[in-house]
Structures are given as C-alpha cells and as structure tokens.
Structure 1
Amino acid sequence: MTTFSRGENLCSFSTTHKINTKKIIVDKFYKDNFESFEDYVIKDEKIDFYLNGEKLISVMSIKEYQDAHIVGFLLSEAVISTLDDIKSLKISEDGLSVYVEADISNIAYENLFKQKTLTSGCCVGVTGNAEKTFDCAFISTQYSLKSSEILSYMSEFNKSSKLFDDTGCVHKARIVLKDGTFFEAEDIGRHNAIDKVIGLVTLQRKNLKESILYVTGRLSNEMVVKCVMHKIPIVVSKAAVTFEGIKAANEHGVTLIGFAREHRMNVYTHSGRVKID
C-alpha cells in the first residue's frame, strides 16, 4: 500500500500505458466483409474513495494519478480548503481503493452527502459545500495572456497522447502556469481529468491564481464551478460552450473561451484578459 503523511512532500504516482489499456480482438466489418484485428480499449475500473474511515464515493476511472484525483475532488467539493487539511493518504496495492484522513468539519462532511445537484456529464454532482462557496466567489485577478500564447498552448494541448491514439476514449485536462510549466492528466471522465490535474498542481504546491485551464469537451456550468473553486481565471476548449456556462463565467469572473483553433477563438466572458499581440 502506498502511503503519505501530512508534512511529507507528496508526489503522484503514474501507472503505465499497459495498466490503463487492454488488448482485445475485434471483428471489423468493412466493405461487406469481416476482418479480425488486435486493438486497445481503455481499462476503466471502479475506484473507491474513503474519507476518515467511511466510504465516500465510487468513481469509474483509470488507475493513473488516483492520489491527485482524490485531492482535487475534495478541494473541488470544498470538503478541504488546503492540502494541509490532509493528515494521511493511502492507496491500496491494487490501486482500486484510496484512503484519506483529513481535518474537516462535521458540517462539511454532512453537506457532502446532501444538496447535490447533478451536472450535465458523467453523473457527477456539485454538493452543498461547493455551491455555498461558489455562490459568493468572484475571480478579480488582472492576470492576462497574449492571444498568440493562448492559441499556441492550445495547439500543444491538442496533440494526441499515446493513450488517446490507441483507444480514442479519454478526456484530457492541462493547466499551464504563469511561467509556462504545465501539468496534464487524462481519464474516461472529463470531471475526473480536471480533478486529477488540479490535484497534481496542488500536490506540488503551485499557485493556480495565475494559470489557464485547457479541457476537452464542452464548457458547461460545472467546468466554471471548478475554475471558481480553485481561482483559475481562464478556461479554454476547442469545443462549444453552454448558456449556463456563459452565465456562470460572467457572474463569477472567469474568462470562458470556446472553439479555440489555430488562428481563432470565441471569447464569451471577461475578454479583457486576452491581449491582442
């Protein structure tokens, strides 16, 4: 069992491509004929999260970065406010169970299991803790980037990974810090991928207040919630945005960018953070 204790320099353990995929035989129909070939599919598994000795939630995910996953999840749901709230973190040898001991209030723990609002993807919810924090939050930072920088980072982000190339079955999230350092995570669920990458940054004790988040998939309300909860001022996707996503971003100070391509992008809210070269 992999273990961490409070005060240690936490770092995430990544599994291999082999562990995240399974090779199978597929019968492909093409031009009136079947032909058999070997192919990779993603190996999704049920991961159990435990908090202070009680089962918290089960998520369908891949084994990679589950330490970061639970850290990002607990921060996103406002169960913990900083990494220092975690006293210990343990991962079972098979990678399917993650155990956290943390300093949390009884109210925060109770709210985790009630007042849940189902989101538009992956059956993930936003709990009462997150909603309460989100409702009164506004990102006022003047952090900005040149349009060429945003699109250049997008071009790099769009380059396929080995895991996506082999399976076509993962979402990806990347956080780029002010100095150009980036962290990246993949998962079968876009919410999982975002929580993982946020966890990775947090485990390295980096500042998210001057960063930009790149995601795959649509930019809906829950994507904005995650940005606000972690004070990330800019979020970008090559995909579409939703009305509720625009509304939330406008009200809470997030620069929302969709349909980002090689030479263009749509900036839906707080465009002052995008500087023309």
Structure 2
Amino acid sequence: MDQTEFIIRPDPANPRLTERVSGLDQDGRAVEASVTVERPLTLYLNGQEIVTMMTIADYPEYLAVGYLLNQNMLKPDDHITGIDFDEETDTVVVRTERKTNYEEKLKKKTLTSGCAQGTAFGDVMESFESIRLAETARLHTSWIYALSKKINLTPSLYLEAGAIHGCVLCREDRPLVYMEDVGRHNAVDKIAGYMHLNEVTPDDKIFYTTGRLTSEMVIKSVQMRLPIVISRSGFTAWGVSLARQANLTLVGRAKGKRFLALAGTDRLVYDADLSATAEEGTEHQRKGSRDDD
C-alpha cells in the first residue's frame, strides 16, 4: 500500500510506545510479547491544572488542544499563544490570550462511557442543537470498503501490541491522519487538535474509528463539525439518537462487505461493486475483535 497517502500515521517502531514483556503462552512455553506503554499526562490551561490523562503521549500538543476544544474550554476563535510539553514531568501547558472560565466548567463535569474518564460538560449539550453539519457531504459506499482495507493493513501499534484504539481523519477514500491511543476519546481529541492547529475544514471529511459509537463519540464528532462517522464496531441507542438529532451520518459494523447505517442515510451513495469487494483478511481475524476493546 502507498503509505504516502497519510499525512500522519502510526509509528509502531517508536521504542517509547511499546515494551517487551516475558510470560507463558497457552502451552506453558516461555514467550516475549509487545505491550503498549501508557503514561500519565497532566494538562494545564494557563495556570490551572485541568486533568491527568493516561495516554501513549505521542502527540501531546494535539491531544491537549483537542481535549480543551471538545470540552468547550477553548473556543474555535481563541488565540493560543503557546503550547509547552515537558517530557520529564509529563505535563503539557496550553496558553491563551483570553481568560477562560474553566473553573466553572470543572464544577459541571460529568462522567461518560469513554475508557478511563472521558468527560462531557453541560454547555456542550446546551450548544449541541445549534451545530449544523454539512448537508452536501456524501459517503460513497466504495469509499467505506477502500478506507477499511487501507486502514486495517497499515502498520500500527494495534497490530504490534494491541490494547489500543485508532481514529482516522479521511477525505473520500484517502486516509489522512491516523492517531492511536489507549482511550478512544484521546485518539479523537488528537484528531481535533490536529484539525484546529492546522486549520483543516471538516465539511468534506470522514471520521473513521475502531471504537464503539457511543454518545461521547457522537458528541465529539459533532463538536468537530464532522458530518460522517464510520466504525468497525457497534452502536449505543443514545449515540444513534444524538446522531439523528444532529443529522450526523453514522455507519457502524463496517467489516468486509458489511456495514450498517443508522443515521444520516441520505448522504449514502451506493456505488460499490460487492462482487469485487473482499471479505476481511485473516490478519485481523487472528488478532481478534479490536472493536470490543
């Protein structure tokens, strides 16, 4: 596969991201396995400590900005004056010109179904109804199959060590930015941070995720103004309800020749030749059901 398609893609060879650990297999034989390394990363907004996240910490700047945007602690028009990451203390500080009201937001924090402690705030839901996604966006079914094949065959931390979620920003049938992390909300936030800092427009983009399509995933996608979301995994009822409310195209269980669209189906263009579409390869069958992580 032509890896030049990606602007950013996983780097499973990065020694900071995995460790070799010895153990025994099902036959009692001594083996060594690659395991994913997670680290605590403490995020500050100006002088205020916001949260400590468990992350692989490969793109801390994108993660920090994306988290603050998706929690409405940063506004799209806020001017970021600096982002400082200290690898020794595992801290990242985002600095802005505007004095933010994060202390009040922290009081309104509620837990959601994300891995670790994904969060949503009251004012995120309050503004949800005002967001309008691009109605002109389209999703060709041939793109679903092409994206699934390209993403699943890309060398990744998941294939190297597992215990990881992946999120990919795409345009048509081209994967652009592929982020991984131990929590699916972290991977989403990295995409959000990348889009904001690089001024990427969302209207013609597709968001691919390996994780479940929960309320949190739908809320974050809508916050990012992404009109189309595809997942290998399934749905929650609230996730579907919110997607229909926002007119977000929600496609799940996308494996091999199969997928299921439960919201925003008017954007679908059925152009794929299913007779020429292969079932999912044995590599992912062997690795197991990553969407159940």
Deviations 1:105-138 (A, max 9, x none): 54x4134302222111222110133222224323
Q: Identity of paired residues, percent? A: 29
* Residue equivalent to 1:204: 198
Q: Which amino acid aligns with 1:121?
A: G
Q: Is the 8 A contact 1:259 1:265 kept in 2?
A: yes
- Identify which range, 247-256 or 109-118, moves more after superposition: 109-118
1:179 Cα deviation from its structure 2 partner = 8.5
Aligned residues: 262
- Identify which range, 138-147 or 71-80, moves more after superposition: 138-147
Q: Which amino acid aligns with 1:227?
A: S
1:232 Cα deviation from its structure 2 partner = 0.2
1:26 Cα deviation from its structure 2 partner = 1.2
* Residue equivalent to 1:276: 270
Separation of aligned partners in 1, 2:105 and 2:252: 31
Alignment partner of 1:117 is 2:114 = no
* Residue equivalent to 1:6: none
* Residue equivalent to 2:177: 183
1:265 Cα deviation from its structure 2 partner = 1.3
1:196 Cα deviation from its structure 2 partner = 0.8
Q: Is the 8 A contact 1:83 1:202 kept in 2?
A: no
RMSD: 2.2
Q: Which amino acid aligns with 1:136?
A: S
Alignment partner of 1:27 is 2:32 = no
User: Is the alpha carbon distance of 1:129 and 1:70 closer, same or farther for their aligned partners in structure 2, counting shifts above 3 Å?
Assistant: farther
1:181 Cα deviation from its structure 2 partner = 5.6
* Residue equivalent to 1:247: 241
Q: Is the 8 A contact 2:139 2:172 kept in 1?
A: no
* Residue equivalent to 1:48: 42
1:95 Cα deviation from its structure 2 partner = 6.9
1:188 Cα deviation from its structure 2 partner = 0.4
Alignment partner of 1:144 is 2:141 = no
Off by >3 Å, runs of 4+ in structure 1: 103-106, 178-181
1:103 Cα deviation from its structure 2 partner = 3.5
User: Is the alpha carbon distance of 1:26 and 1:181 closer, same or farther for their aligned partners in structure 2, counting shifts above 3 Å?
Assistant: closer
Separation of aligned partners in 2, 1:19 and 1:244: 37
Q: 1:195 aligns with which of 183, 189, 192?
A: 189
* Residue equivalent to 1:126: 120
Q: Is the 8 A contact 2:147 2:173 kept in 1?
A: no
Alignment partner of 1:168 is 2:165 = no
- Identify which range, 129-138 or 43-52, moves more after superposition: 129-138
User: Is the alpha carbon distance of 1:83 and 1:216 closer, same or farther for their aligned partners in structure 2, counting shifts above 3 Å?
Assistant: farther
Deviations 1:167-203 (A, max 9, x none): 1111000011358461110000000011112222322
* Residue equivalent to 2:277: none
1:205 Cα deviation from its structure 2 partner = 1.6
Q: Is the 8 A contact 2:146 2:173 kept in 1?
A: no
Separation of aligned partners in 1, 2:210 and 2:136: 25
Structure 2 unaligned regions, length at least 5: 1-6, 272-293
- Identify which range, 241-250 or 96-105, moves more after superposition: 96-105
Q: Is the 8 A contact 1:83 1:203 kept in 2?
A: no
Alignment partner of 1:81 is 2:38 = no
Separation of aligned partners in 2, 1:213 and 1:69: 16
TM-score by length of 1: 0.87
Separation of aligned partners in 2, 1:17 and 1:255: 35
User: Is the alpha carbon distance of 1:159 and 1:184 closer, same or farther for their aligned partners in structure 2, counting shifts above 3 Å?
Assistant: same
Separation of aligned partners in 2, 1:53 and 1:59: 18
Q: Is the 8 A contact 1:41 1:167 kept in 2?
A: yes
TM-score by length of 2: 0.83
* Residue equivalent to 1:91: 85
Q: Which amino acid aligns with 2:266?
A: G
Q: 1:225 aligns with which of 205, 219, 241?
A: 219
* Residue equivalent to 1:68: 62
Q: Which amino acid aligns with 2:14?
A: H
- Identify which range, 266-275 or 176-185, moves more after superposition: 176-185
1:211 Cα deviation from its structure 2 partner = 0.7
Deviations 1:87-108 (A, max 9, x none): 11001133711011114454x4
